[in-house]
Amino acid sequence: MKLLLFGAPGVGKGTQAKLLADYYSIPHFSTGDMLRAAVAAQTYLGVQAKQHMDGGRLVPDELMIAMIRDALVGPTAKTGFILDGFPRTVPQAETLTVIFHDIGASVFTVVNIDVDPELIIKRLSSRLMCPNDGKIFSSELMDVRQNGPCPACGTPLIQRVDDRPETVRERLEVYNAKTAPVLTFYEKLGVVVTVDGNDTVDAVNLNIRNKLRALKR
């Protein structure tokens, strides 16, 4: 099972990727989570990436491609994987084709999660994150609040810097300009399934699994 979770900021890629990774017992590679870990650890990559991420812009392709190549050629990706947040530009998608060829991953599916723009804004403004392990929560769906305890480990919850309203607007513009063309790239290859992401977390998850089962890949 090799899946690419695709969609605008806030459509639920991370939420669904975690559920699917548990269900299919495959690793989940979130480029956003990997970058946030690098920023927290103040590595060379993290220092380079922070300014772009905080402004809602994309991190340069060459940094992202090196990061994802390292993850995919490693032993954990042998039995399958879920990519969440990559590729995000057409050059990244073209390079991923080469990496897939190198690792023998010829069959893969792009799961495109489609959510109404107003709902995206609402979801991102109510998202909270645990800085300890990156777990995602929603103050709309759960009784959690900023600086309140993480339900899993008690660490005070934070809002992502890039979830501030002005940065969310920038991220959505970047998505439309740079990332939406990636969907066209994969549609031409006939590997896209589109799922309505406006429903509840569980309903969206069931919908994705049913569509993947129907593909019999």
State the residues that interact with Mg ion by CB under 5 A.
14, 32
Return the residue of 1, 136, 158, 193 that touches ligand AP5, per CB under 6 A. 136
User: According to the binding rule CB under 6 A, does residue 85 interact with ligand AP5?
Assistant: yes
Is 88 assigned a catalytic role?
Answer: yes
CA distance 33 to 16: 14
Query: Rounded to the nearest whole angstrom, what is the least distance from the CB of residue 188 to Mg ion in the complex?
Result: 26
- Looking at the Cβ atoms of 102 and 176, the one nearer to Mg ion is 176
Query: Can you list the pairs that 35-44 forms with residues at least 24 positions away whose Cβ atoms lie under 8 Å?
Result: 35/59, 35/67, 36/134, 37/134, 40/131
- Looking at the Cβ atoms of 29 and 185, the one nearer to Mg ion is 29
Is 13 assigned a catalytic role?
Answer: yes
Query: Rounded to the nearest whole angstrom, what is the least distance from the CB of residue 76 to ligand AP5 in the complex?
Result: 19
Q: Which does 9 bind (CB under 5 to 8 A by kind): Mg ion, ligand AP5, none?
A: ligand AP5
User: According to the binding rule CB under 6 A, does residue 32 interact with ligand AP5?
Assistant: yes
Query: Rounded to the nearest whole angstrom, what is the least distance from the CB of residue 85 to Mg ion in the complex?
Result: 6
User: According to the binding rule CB under 6 A, does residue 53 interact with ligand AP5?
Assistant: yes
Positions 171 through 200 that interact with ligand AP5 (CB under 6 A)? 171, 200
In this structure, how many other beta carbons lie within 10 angstroms of the beta carbon of residue 195?
A: 24
121: its two tokens: 């804004």
180-189 vs 90-103: helix axis angle to the nearest 10?
40
- Looking at the Cβ atoms of 122 and 216, the one nearer to ligand AP5 is 122
Is 160 assigned a catalytic role?
Answer: yes
Burial 40-62, CB ≥16 within 10 A → b, else e = eeeeebbeebbebbeebbbbebe
CA distance 151 to 143: 9
